[in-house]
């Protein structure tokens, strides 16, 4: 297999891992605000409660593991590919997969709501 094809597959794999997991991480972390509100002073207890909440939800942990696998693949491809190509291509592919996955999950894309808090 040629080096260019290997790079392209690596970029696509990273973009797929990152992009497809981003909307699921967002969805898996829903409800975190309610946990945070229980500790208005913040601090260690709030942080611990948030971590327990997140890491006991498979809806958060599984996409996070996929996302981190993409990070490992990205680290590997950065060692082999030209940095000036790897970063913009991977980020573009990630954006496309994030957009497509979000649409498949029913997220609204664009419009005023995309920019409002």
pLDDT digits (tens, 9 = 90+) for 87-105: 999 999 999 999 999 999 9
Is a pLDDT exceeding 90 seen at residue 1? Answer: no
CA–CA separation, 110 and 59 (whole Å): 25
Provide the strand spans (E) within 39-98.
Answer: none
**Mean pLDDT score, 72-80:** 91
**Mean pLDDT score, 49-64:** 97
Query: Measuring CA to CA, how many Å separate 80 from each of 3, 7, 67, 77, 111?
Result: 9, 8, 20, 5, 39
Q: Is 82 helix (H, G, I), strand (E, B) or coil?
A: coil
Which pLDDT belongs to residue 114?
63
Supply 81's token pair: 């590919």
Which pLDDT belongs to residue 80?
85
CA–CA separation, 74 and 63 (whole Å): 16
Supply 7's token pair: 């790079």
The percentage of the chain sitting over the pLDDT mark of 90, rounded to a whole number, equals 74
Average pLDDT, the chain: 92
Is a pLDDT exceeding 80 seen at residue 22? Answer: yes
Q: Confidence band (pLDDT; 50, 70, 90) for 15?
A: very high
Is a pLDDT exceeding 80 seen at residue 31? Answer: yes
Q: Look-up: residue for tokens 């592919």?
A: 93
């Amino acid at each position: 297999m040629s080096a260019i094809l290997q790079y392209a597959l690596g970029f696509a794999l990273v973009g797929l891992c990152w992009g497809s997991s981003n909307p699921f991480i967002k969805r898996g972390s829903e409800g975190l605000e309610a946990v945070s509100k229980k500790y208005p002073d913040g601090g260690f207890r709030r942080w611990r409660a948030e971590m327990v909440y997140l890491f006991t939800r498979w809806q958060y942990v599984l996409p996070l593991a996929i996302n981190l696998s993409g990070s490992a693949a990205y680290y590997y491809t950065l060692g082999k590919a030209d940095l000036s190509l790897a970063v913009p291509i991977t980020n573009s592919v990630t954006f496309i997969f994030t957009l497509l996955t979000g649409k498949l999950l029913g997220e609204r894309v664009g419009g005023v709501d995309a920019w409002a808090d």
